[in-house]
Structure 1
Amino acid sequence: MSGYLTTGGLPGRPRRRPGTAVGRPQWRRALGWVLAVQLYLAAWFWLIAVAVVTVALIVIDRIGTVTVSIMQFASEGATWFPFAIAIISATAQLSVHVANGMTRRSFIRAALVTSVVSGVVYALVMSLAMLAEGAVFARFGWPHVAGADDVALWQSGFGPGLLGYALLFVGAQVSGLLVGIGYYRYGGWWGTLLLPLTAAPAVLLQLLTPLLGGDGWFVDAAPFSLSTAALAVPGAVVVIALGAAGFHRLTRDVAIRRVTT
């Protein structure tokens, strides 16, 4: 946790970096480093995902016929990889954060803002990747469609797709924070028993986002339904808000574990 620094003469007080304004909120100091780590990991994730999709398309085209989108499957990784990172963040960084003289409240705020920003970034890259894949498929005459057993999630165009991905990815990260603090606060046994509650936001969003309509990245998209979207979007926002509230409640007065080296 090299991003958290202390001075030798003033243990527990954060050392101000050169150029950092006096009185800068604690959560913003924490946010800068935590978000940078998340975006660094996101960059590696998408580099690997694009490479894997490219290789898969080449191989499939050589030995058979490309019949479905391959990039669509990256959404699973973009959901559960940041989910796992959020669990690690909640369990590993809180003790170091507080040991460096910062408050639980600032940790909560930095973690939640990171989840929102990182989730939106994942959604934006996923949406752009789907557009790029569609252009490649059109160039080679491949059908840009969902698999027969895959659920079409969004209606049409860049906006609905971005919204759907953002709700899904942000919710998964908030759920990861909730899972992580559950283990941190209650230990392994209770943390595991609480998984049906702490992992619920990620699972519920997997169920809510299909209500936004057909997936417009694909030519066989179903019509967009305002009635179902009017339920899905507020429902997803409520789920994310409840997950964030749960994370706040479990973190604000949690006993801090001793940092070991």
Structure 2
Amino acid sequence: MTISLDERAAFEAEMRRRGFRRVVDCVTGGGVIFGAGFWAVFTLLAVIVPVIVDHYGNEMGGGVLIGAEYSARWFAFTLGIILVSMIMTNHVAAGGTRRSLFTGSVVAAVLTGAVYGVLNVAAFLVERAVFTGFGWTWHAPGDVLPDGIGWWAGVALSELLVVTVYVMVGIAVAVGYQNHGVWTGTLLIVPALVLLAAVEVAAGTGTADDLLGHLRTGSGPLWYAFGLVVVAAAAGWMHVHLSRLRLRPTR
């Protein structure tokens, strides 16, 4: 039976769509499930610790979530490495394209970042409610008082930008080791760290912002725009690695 060019093109397009969906489902599903577990644990601690402190007649000056977002991004980074390492070889060996692996990873990173942003805000709201219930003053990270919905939206957007870049860079690190081995793969982490630092400064949160935040000038929207530029750069860095993905024989 002869297959027409149109039928062949339709079949190839369907295979690309299936490969894309598999990547999105795997990376997003794993990232969101484990990420939700991470934030659930910290949110529970944000309730339990103040209850214990109040029980003994003391008062907390700050919540337990101050360092949670610092940890959350590295958790997402690690998941990016693990989840893509699990699927990339089988994806390509089974006929999946490097393009679908890239586009699926971009979508998965953005979706994961969005979920982390929402969960971050939800955790802060729970902690603030607990503090308010005990008559304590709750300070957001940076010792500022939230000033309306704009502040909360900024928290979610910042986390979205940062986690998206962290996931993409984690994927690039995993593929870098796959392509180049230990020594060169390790050297390629250096430019990746620059991207991580840049997005933290743009978002105004994280270790890099603690060190370099005093250099920030201009308005918030300008820096969020810079954050989008960093996201695009991280996607480009990930694409460089994925477009050169090589299959290595298993031992």
Unaligned runs of 5+ in 1: 1-21, 212-224
How high is the TM-score relative to the length of structure 2?
0.79
* CA distance in 1: counterparts of 2:42 and 2:176, whole angstroms: 30
For 1:192-223, what per-residue CA distance to the aligned partner results, in whole angstroms no more than 9, with x for missing partners?
A: 12222023222222222228xxxxxxxxxxxx
- What does residue 32 of structure 1 align with? 25
- For the pair 1:168 / 2:159, whether they are aligned, the reply is no
* CA distance in 1: counterparts of 2:147 and 2:169, whole angstroms: 25
**Alpha-carbon spacing, 1:92–1:153, altered in 2? closer, same or farther (3 Å):** farther
**Alpha-carbon spacing, 1:155–1:193, altered in 2? closer, same or farther (3 Å):** farther
- Identical-residue share of aligned pairs (%): 26
Counterparts of 1:31-180 in structure 2, within 5 Å, are: 31-63=24-56, 64-146=58-140, 150=142, 156-157=148-149, 158-180=152-174
1:197 to 168, 191, 194: 191
- What does residue 254 of structure 1 align with? 245
**Alpha-carbon spacing, 1:181–1:153, altered in 2? closer, same or farther (3 Å):** farther
CA contact (8 A) 1:91 1:180 kept: yes
CA contact (8 A) 1:72 1:130 kept: no
CA contact (8 A) 1:99 1:259 kept: no
Q: Secondary structure at the match of 2:138?
A: coil
For 1:39, give the aligned amino acid.
V
Between Structure 1 and Structure 2, how many residues are aligned?
A: 224
* CA distance in 2: counterparts of 1:253 and 1:30, whole angstroms: 17
* CA distance in 2: counterparts of 1:153 and 1:196, whole angstroms: 36
- For the pair 1:238 / 2:232, whether they are aligned, the reply is no
TM-superposed deviation, 1:55: 2.7
Q: Secondary structure at the match of 1:227?
A: coil
**Alpha-carbon spacing, 1:122–1:253, altered in 2? closer, same or farther (3 Å):** same
Give the alignment's Cα RMSD to 1 decimal.
Answer: 2.6
Tell me which stretches of 4 or more aligned residues in structure 1 moved more than 4 Å.
150-156
* CA distance in 1: counterparts of 2:217 and 2:105, whole angstroms: 33
For 1:45, give the aligned amino acid.
F
Higher helix proportion (structure 1 or 2): 2
**Alpha-carbon spacing, 1:257–1:151, altered in 2? closer, same or farther (3 Å):** farther
For 2:20, give the aligned amino acid.
W
TM-superposed deviation, 1:227: 3.3
Q: Secondary structure at the match of 1:71?
A: coil
Q: Secondary structure at the match of 2:77?
A: helix
